[in-house]
Amino acid sequence: MQSMEDLVINLFAGEQTLAALWRAVDKAQSLRFDSRGFNHVFRLEGLGCKNYGKCDLITLDCQGHKIPSSVTSIERNVDNAVRLFLGARVEIGNLYAARSRAFAARDRALRFNHAFHNPYPNLISTDRKKIVLNRDQLNLFYCRGLGKTFTDPFDWPENGGATGVQGP
């Protein structure tokens, strides 16, 4: 079980990886009816990498939005990790946007708070369901994430599986 702080730091470490995945999906959607090919390689430390074509990305994006946050068991592979990250795109994207707003708020000496909720509480075991971060914590966690390698945050069934969230 990891702390919510560790999860946030890991997600900041993976900001470029996830942003590249989301841009690739957007590009695949825009080229949907175009005959030109398009590929994207997704790599996740501890899980592996895979090359996706534009049709694969579009399919995974559609499937990712259908995964409920209450899912408790899913096979460990790169495809499912991509589906989960696409399904949590809004929550994780809001975390990244909050960090940018916190940076601007710091420059103007404004108060700023952001509540980050664990997008998959049954697949990512954390010590609590959400964390409220102020502007200084967001910037601190972002800086800590810069020096880290983005790793697989999910508790796959083969590793003992997630037991759900402990605590409030």
Long-range contacts of 104-107 (CB under 8 A, 24+ apart): 105/135, 106/135, 106/136, 106/139
Q: Residue 41: left if φ>0, alpha if ψ -120 to 50, beta else—which one?
A: beta
pTM: 0.85
State the pLDDT at residue 164: 40
Helix H or strand E encompassing 52: strand 48-53
Contact between 75 and 55 (Cβ < 8 Å): no
State the pLDDT at residue 163: 41
State the pLDDT at residue 41: 93
Cα–Cα distances (Å) from 95 to 3, 15, 109, 164, in that order, read: 16, 10, 20, 22
pLDDT tens, position by position, for the chain (168 residues)?
Answer: 789 999 999 999 999 999 999 999 999 998 888 888 889 999 988 888 999 999 999 999 988 878 777 777 778 888 988 999 999 999 999 999 999 888 888 777 778 899 999 988 888 888 899 999 998 999 999 999 998 988 888 866 555 544 443 333
State the pLDDT at residue 154: 82
d(CA 116, CA 83): 20
DSSP conformational letter for 77: S
